[in-house]
Structure 1
Amino acid sequence: MATSLQFPRSSRSLALIVAVSVGAVVLTGCTPGAESTSSATATPKPTSSETSEPTSTPSETTPASDAPVVSQPIDASCGDLVSADDIYNYNPNFTLVEDAAPNPDTKPGQIAGMNGLTCQWVHNTSKDTVDIAVAKLSDDELTALKNLAITESTPVPTYGAPPIEGYFTVIDSQGEAQIFTGSYWIAARSTTFFEPGDVEELAEAVMQNLPA
């Protein structure tokens, strides 16, 4: 008699469960939800406008607004500016000091910083000094200095008729005069200047001796 092969019922049930589980896994991997989730979490790429660099940069050729003032050359020496006769008539005890430098905190010292002509005389007995300095400047530069002189000093009409402008003040027991004539700025300072009239003789000599 022929016999037929029979599996136990429990084996057939186990095989059916495995088949169903595999099918479920395959179907889950093909669901559209997985693809949409992946695309939703993708990082957006930056646009060209977000990564572009500035198209303009600050100019590096802008001229400085505070350029130093420099005197134009003055074709004269201290002996030309105030001659030996001029200083003798003023006071015979004053002697020209070669290569003397005025105090930088004074108007003659300021002119020295502009490369202007600076001169100094010393009294042989008292050792008092007289500093006289001259700068040759542009109209705009002179106008700025005149405006400053009005605020710092007192106008003096006796140094010359208009368009000559004169100023005088006393600072730390030193008289300081400023005179504007033509394209020149003249400054004089000394402990021997007590009032505007003490400068007049030297100021007149300087203005007469300035190069045209």
Structure 2
Amino acid sequence: MPALVTSPRIRPSVSRNSRRRVAAPLAAGLLVLLALTACSTDSPKPGSSTTPSAGATAPAPGATDAPGETPTPTPTPEAIGTPVALTCDQILTPDDVYAYNPNYGVAPDFEPTSAAAQTAVKYDGVACGWLNQTSDATFEVSVTQPNDVLQATLIDQALLGGKAVPTYGTTPIEGFFASSGGVGTAQVLSGAHWVSVSSTEFAEPGDAQTLVASVLSHLG
């Protein structure tokens, strides 16, 4: 039996030119894909940190600074008076009044009329009045315990249209006398007390000397 002669298997082959034609479109497609990938990577995504969100606002200048402390305003000192715990008989006793003039007695329904006595009542002081039973003349006495602010105001007012009087007492007592509208007023600062004595009968500082000395003797 004759031997079979087998023909070698012929494998389909692709020419180099054909391979090149196939590879070229693949390479081009790969480049396009890489370019698209790069673009999608570099472009900011909506809502990312590089894109401001809706409603976002830039920080106001200095908004990140720590708030400073607000300075506490210094309160303005006020004129006040400490209540005077004295009665009219303690400020000027009946014997004191008799020694000054026996015609004087306590004025009924007394209301202060002098500016000094009204100021004393306003600042928790005491104001008292006596009436001359013969002439109907009156005199008023007041005592106040002012703080430094009120004390400075009282001194300024006493010097306004008035003068300092050294005869009412030695330092640290300060005395003042003024006359206005026919009324003479003696005022004295003695320690913590401010004393005033007013009357139509006081034409000069010496006219109030006796009453001023009597009042000061009871204040200690």
Task: Confirm or deny a common fold (TM above 0.5).
Answer: yes
Does residue 161 of structure 2 align to residue 161 of structure 1? no
Q: Quick check: 1:90–1:201 contact (8 Å CA) kept in 2?
A: yes
How many residues align structurally?
Answer: 165
Partner of 1:74: 84
Q: Deviations over 1:67-96 (max 9, x none)?
A: 3422x2323211111111110111111111
Q: Is 1:109 paired with 2:109? A: no
Is 1:119 aligned with 2:128?
A: yes
| Conserved? CA contact 1:142–1:183, under 8 Å | no
From 85, 91, 102, the equivalent of 2:101 is 91
**Structure 2 residue 177 is the aligned partner of structure 1 residue 171:** no
User: What SS is found at the alignment partner of 1:158?
Assistant: helix
Please say if residues 78 and 149 of structure 2, whose CA atoms lie closer than 8 Å, have aligned partners that are also in contact: no
CA RMSD of aligned residues (A): 3.1
Task: State the alpha-carbon separation in 2 of the partners of residues 115 and 63 from structure 1.
Answer: 26
Quick one: which amino acid aligns to residue 187 of structure 2? Q
Q: Which residue of 2 aligns with 1:14?
A: none
Select the structure that is richer in helix: 1
**Residues 10-60 of structure 1, C-alpha deviations (whole Å, 9 max, x = no match):** xxxxxxxxxxxxxxxxxxxxxxxxxxxxxxxxxxx975539x9xx89x99x
TM-score normalised by the chain length of structure 1? 0.66
| Matches of 1:81 and 1:134, distance apart in 2 | 8
Match of 1:138 in 2: 147
SS in structure 2 of the partner of residue 199 of structure 1: helix
Counterpart amino acid of 1:204? A
Q: 1:196 offset after TM fit, Å?
A: 0.7
Query: What TM-score does the superposition give when structure 2 sets the normalisation length?
Result: 0.64
Gapped regions of structure 1 (runs ≥ 5): 1-44
1:148 Cα deviation from its structure 2 partner: 3.8
For residue 89 of structure 1, give the secondary structure of its aligned residue in structure 2.
helix
Mark the runs of 5 or more structure 2 residues left unpaired by the alignment: 1-55
Structure 1 distance, partners of 2:126, 2:140, is 11
Preserved CA contact (<8 Å) 2:173 2:190: yes
The percent identity for this pair of structures is: 29
